[in-house]
Structures are given as C-alpha cells and as structure tokens.
Amino acid sequence: MKTTRGDFPQEINLHLISYLEMLQRKGIKSIYLTPPGAVHEATAEQKQLSGDQERSVAKETMGGIVEKLSEVDAKVSVCEDCGLHRGRTNTVFGTGNPGTKVMFIGEGPGRDEDIQGKPFVGRSGQLLTKMLGAIDLSREDVYITNIVKCRPPDNRDPQEEEVRCCEKYLIAQIDLIRPRIICALGRVAAHWLLDTKDSLAALRNRENFYRGTQVLVTYHPAALLRNPGLKRGAWEDFKQLTAIISE
C-alpha cells in the first residue's frame, strides 16, 4: 500500500482532506485534540469560538432561506396563473420569522391586505396580534400567510382552480420554513390543507397533518369578531399550540 509523509495510507489522507474541507466550508477553522484518557475542559475562549461558529453557520443558513423566500415572492408578484390577478392591487405573500416553529395559514387576503400587500393587517389581523400576545408571542415570532396570495372578489372563498394554482407557492413556503406546526385559521384553510369537508369542530378535536407537518385547526379571527362566543374555544386551541411548540 502506498504511503505518504507520516506513514498514513493515501486513502486515509484523502478522507482527512475531504473532512477538513467540509469543516472549513462550515466556518470551523480550529480543531482541539484531546489526548487519550485525558479529561479536557474547554476554556471560555474556546466555548466562545464554538458559539460564534454555530451562530455564523445558523446566520448563513437563515440568510439562504430568506433569499429563497424572496425569490418565491418575486414569482408570486408577477403570477397570472389564475383569474385572481386581474382584480388585485398587490399580491400578499407572507410575513414573519422564517426560523419560526409555527406558521399561521388563512384563506386569502381581504381589502386591507390587498392594499398593503401584507397578510392579516385589518380587523382580523389586529385580533390575531392580540391572540398571539396572550400566549407571549408577537407577529415577529411567527410566520403568517394564506392559501391564495391574491384577494378573491368580494372576499368570497377561493375556488379550486385558484387554490391549485397557488398551492406551489404555499408548499415552497412550508418546505423552506419547515415549521414544527401549522395553525390553520378557519374552515377554508383547514379544508384545503387537509383535503376534507369535515366540520371545523371535528377537525379541532383531532390530530391532523399536511405533508408530514402537524396541523392545528382553529377559528379564523373574522369568525371570532362575528361571534365572540367562539373565543373560549380559540383560547383553548392557542393553549394547545403553546404546549406543542414548547415540547
């Protein structure tokens, strides 16, 4: 077997070089060796270095996710795959923290959302913000989007063709963010995500999944504004959400 300097077999050297290059790509520039049988306590400086490296890698990864989400957003902004584009003022892609554990999905933009180009900014959005605050979360802690990215006329339910055209964008958002759980806001979002016509009551009281991601179903904030008596149930749903993301 051919050997190189230090009497290491060539194959081992190649593996070592490949491994070290991989570490370098991750931003790891120093390796600390511990003698066999020795107990090594990392110094404060080494711990700081390790923490800085981890944060650097995490920041680089998050930057890539943000960039890819922006690319999808750019495609949405010029999308004309269905008839909804003819009546829109702005597309409404999504806002929030791409590193979140929970993604909220509603049915579609309303008038205020269409004007501002942001999801849940009208009365329903203001209530959602208060509901998040009740469980010690802010809009900056979560990610909020809709099934369709353009406003349906007169706030009607999105039609199947419209949802099918927009589904690829929603899937891209979910695949990039990879939330621990999705919170489906209302009947329409729940029905499309879970491919069912079951009642909201039935869906709220069972475990659901969309493409492998757990889905918690609750009331749309607009329904709570119309019927305040539903708020107790929504509060129970949000407490369950808190328990799940705390696991």
Indicate whether 11 belongs to any domain. Answer: no
Indicate whether 194 belongs to any domain. Answer: yes
Alpha carbons 154 and 152: distance in angstroms, whole number: 6
Alpha carbons 190 and 60: distance in angstroms, whole number: 34
Closest to 109 measured CA to CA, from 137, 149, 74 = 149
- Residues 103-122: what's their mean pLDDT? 97
- Ranges of H-type helices in 78-199: 111-116, 123-134, 160-177, 187-194
Beta bridge partners of 210: 213
Beta bridge partners of 213: 210
Q: Please, is 168 exposed, middle or buried when counting C-beta atoms within 10 Å of its C-beta (0-12, 13-18, 19+)? A: middle
pLDDT tens per residue, range 73-92 = 999 999 999 999 999 999 99
- Confidence band of 18 (pLDDT split at 50, 70, 90): low
Residues 6+ apart with CB under 8 A from 158: 84, 107, 108, 147, 148, 152, 166, 188, 192
- Confidence band of 8 (pLDDT split at 50, 70, 90): very low
- Residues 93-116: what's their mean pLDDT? 97
What domain range includes position 149?
56-245
Indicate whether 78 belongs to any domain. Answer: yes
pLDDT tens per residue, range 214-230 = 999 999 999 999 999 99
Half-sphere exposure of 113 (CA within 13 A, CB side): 28
Q: What is the CATH number of the domain that holds 156?
A: 3.40.470.10
Indicate whether 224 belongs to any domain. Answer: yes
pLDDT higher at 60 or 241? 241
Closest to 240 measured CA to CA, from 204, 211, 212 = 204
pLDDT tens per residue, range 160-216 = 999 999 999 999 999 999 999 999 999 999 999 999 999 999 999 999 999 999 999
Amino acid at 183: C
Alpha carbons 74 and 17: distance in angstroms, whole number: 40
Does residue 15 have a pLDDT over 70?
A: no
Indicate whether 146 belongs to any domain. Answer: yes
In the structure encoding, which two tokens stand for residue 162, read together? 């419209």
The reported pLDDT for the residue numbered 61 is 83
pLDDT > 90: what percent of the chain?
74
Indicate whether 31 belongs to any domain. Answer: no
- Confidence band of 62 (pLDDT split at 50, 70, 90): confident
In the structure encoding, which two tokens stand for residue 101, read together? 């554990």
Amino acid at 238: F
Q: Provide the number of structural domains found in the chain.
A: 1
Query: 211 φ, ψ to 5°?
Result: 50, 45
- Residues 96-111: what's their mean pLDDT? 97
How many C-beta atoms lie closer than 10 Å to residue 71's C-beta? 11
